[in-house]
Amino acid sequence: MKRICNVIFLLSIILFSCNNPEPKNERPNILFIMSDDHAYQAISAYDNRLIQTPNIDRIANEGIIFKNACVTNSICAPSRAVILTGKHSHLNGKIDNHSPFDTTQVTFPQLFKKAGYQTAMYGKLHFGNNPKGVDDFLILPGQGDYINPKFLGKDKDTVITGYVSDVITDLTLDWFKTKRDKNKPFLMMYLHKAPHRAWWPSPEKFAEFYEKKFPEPETLFDDYSGRGTAAKTAEMNILTHMQYMHDSKVRPSTMEEMGDVKPEIVYVRGDGSLMRPNASGFNRPFGRANEEQKAKYNVTLDKINNDFKENWPNMNDKEKMQWKFQRYMQDYLATISSVDDNVGRVLDYLDETGLDKNTIVVYTSDQGFYLGEHGWFDKRFIYDESFKTPLMIKWPNVIKPGTTSEEMVQNLDFAQTFLEAAMIDAPDDMQGESLIPIMKGDNDSWTREAVYYHYYEYPSVHMAKRHYGIVNKEYKLTHFYYDIDEWELYDRLNDPNEMNNVYNDPKYSEVVKKLSQDLKEMRVKYKDSEELDQSFIYNNK
């Protein structure tokens, strides 16, 4: 009898183990997915006119999509520093892509690791080569490469053959399958390089999207007559500043053959020196390809270059703008299509293993991006396409599927949101606010009505002037400074394309008065000031 009881007991343990392969973690796992320069206009959950992104949309459909999510400083490395520290750029030190990050700052992965989470990071960090608080990582050096990318690792560096979005996903899935400690909750930072400039798709997506044509934005031929100096002098116009070789994939040999083509634009670095991207903008990515990869790329490159040679001499400026816009969209959106496919691979793995049931999944970008609006590419400005960023979060049994929020939220809020979800105390000096009340549908507990923005990287690439401002759901007030002193006010409800600066319109005098006072108070709240502005100018000349 005793023997039978023992057998039954052992069988019950085996059956229990089979049905419950993992210990139950009360604290949620977190999968943080971030792309680089992914415009909200290029996610079909926001706008389906350019591309379908069914896998990224799954996160919105199963959770919440934020329609007024934005950044504090629309440029890559500073945005990432804000996300990691929960502090504005002027406090974490990373005001632009050139200035150093204050390594004494506490980052939220450090707090997760200290609290018993297993932490990992794969993909693009952009600054530093030893992320703090991360148990395991392989990160791209700086901007990284699309083709056969090099990775910096904790133990050794490595070059991996393949397309970068596929490779980053392979590394992430391998970590889940072979390195994850099932006895611990995890924080996985899954960080895509795409769709950062210059936009090199995989050979298959390159061929597919070259055959597509995309609708032009209504402001493609904006003449900036309704705005100030900053918009008029920025160097991010598709016609005049987007490069034929670097961006449109016109071969150097084709450029030489078409000898009257204007030379590629010369950019000013942050230190005042000059740089000319020239042929290296084409040769660096393509030069990393092996012969088999080059053969696949050349099929589409031949079509592009034949089209250019045949049509370019007969095109007027309007037609050149339209040609460059289509080439831009074809490659930019092709890289996003690969990101979407790969996000689907990771989401499928979570679903198949049951990890989805206790995992918060976040999709965002380090900022927005211009897709021809106002004739522009790139970001930097407080204007909406740059300032706003995609943000969607799913958390089963906590966030009601299909939720939409119009609240003013920022990347500044991510750290405190994740910490609260994981039941980890946030440091008192973090400056964001947890999004969990909104995620749970408790909008009455959300009290923020406006957000603060400050951009510093000038003079530099694209020559977007320094500015700071305050933004609420109705209005946007901005001060451009350094080598000019100009103010702009936009009525976000009645002028959604931000074409007309109404700062000096008497009808808005009371709005200007109130927002000016609110902006002063906000600068005090976030510990920013004119003295700091001058200090950063002096130290970064």
Which tens digit of pLDDT belongs to each residue from 502-517?
Answer: 999 999 999 999 999 9
Under 8 Å between Cβ of 431 and 88: yes
Asked which of 176-190, 198-212, 268-282, 496-510 is least confident by mean pLDDT, the reply is 268-282
DSSP code, position 279: T
AA letter at 445: S
Per-residue pLDDT tens digits for 440-466? 999 999 999 999 999 999 999 999 999
Under 8 Å between Cβ of 102 and 92: yes
Per-residue pLDDT tens digits for 415-439? 999 999 999 999 999 999 999 999 9
Strand partners, 469: 453, 478
Under 8 Å between Cβ of 336 and 195: yes
Residue limits of CATH 3.30.1120.10 in the chain: 467-539
Q: State yes or no: pLDDT of 13 exceeds 90.
A: no
Q: State yes or no: pLDDT of 287 exceeds 50.
A: yes
Residue 541 vs residue 359, higher pLDDT: 359
Strand-strand pairing, 150-153 and 136-139 = antiparallel
Q: State yes or no: pLDDT of 11 exceeds 80.
A: no
Q: Give 352: exposed, middle or buried? Use CB within 10 Å, 0-12, 13-18, 19+.
A: exposed
pLDDT confidence of residue 14: 40
Mean pLDDT, residues 297-316: 96
Distance between CA 147 and CA 288 in Å, rounded? 6
420-454 core/surface letters (b: 16 or more CB in 10 A; e: else): bbbebebeeebbbbbbbbbbeeeeeebeeebbbbb
236-263 core/surface letters (b: 16 or more CB in 10 A; e: else): bbbbebbbbbbbbbbbeebbeeeeebee
Q: With cut-offs at 50, 70 and 90, classify the pLDDT of residue 8.
A: very low
Give all strands (DSSP E) within 324-405, no chain letters: 359-365, 391-394, 403-405
Distance between CA 421 and CA 435 in Å, rounded? 10
Give all strands (DSSP E) within 366-413, no chain letters: 391-394, 403-405, 409-410
pLDDT confidence of residue 273: 46
Mean pLDDT, residues 122-129: 88
Mean pLDDT, residues 350-368: 98
Mean pLDDT, residues 237-251: 93
pLDDT confidence of residue 277: 52
pLDDT confidence of residue 262: 59
Distance between CA 46 and CA 113 in Å, rounded? 34
Q: What is the CATH number of domain 28-198+332-450?
A: 3.40.720.10
Q: With cut-offs at 50, 70 and 90, classify the pLDDT of residue 283.
A: confident
Q: What is the Cα 217 distance to its own chain's centre? A: 21
Mean pLDDT, residues 262-269: 53
Mean pLDDT, residues 71-91: 97
CA dihedral of residues 124, 125, 129, 130 (deg, nearest 10):
-120
Q: State yes or no: pLDDT of 106 exceeds 50.
A: yes
Give the tokens for residue 43.
Answer: 């996610």
Mean pLDDT, residues 162-176: 98
pLDDT confidence of residue 90: 96
Residue limits of CATH 3.40.720.10 in the chain: 28-198+332-450
Query: What is the residue-wise DSSP string for 232-256?
Result: HH-S-BHHHHS-TTTTT---HHHHH
Q: What is the CATH number of domain 467-539?
A: 3.30.1120.10
* Cα–Cα–Cα angle for 64, 66, 69, rounded to 5 degrees: 150
pLDDT confidence of residue 332: 98
Strand-strand pairing, 359-365 and 29-35 = parallel
Closest CA to 294 of 200, 194, 372: 200
Strand-strand pairing, 403-405 and 64-66 = parallel
pTM of this prediction?
Answer: 0.93
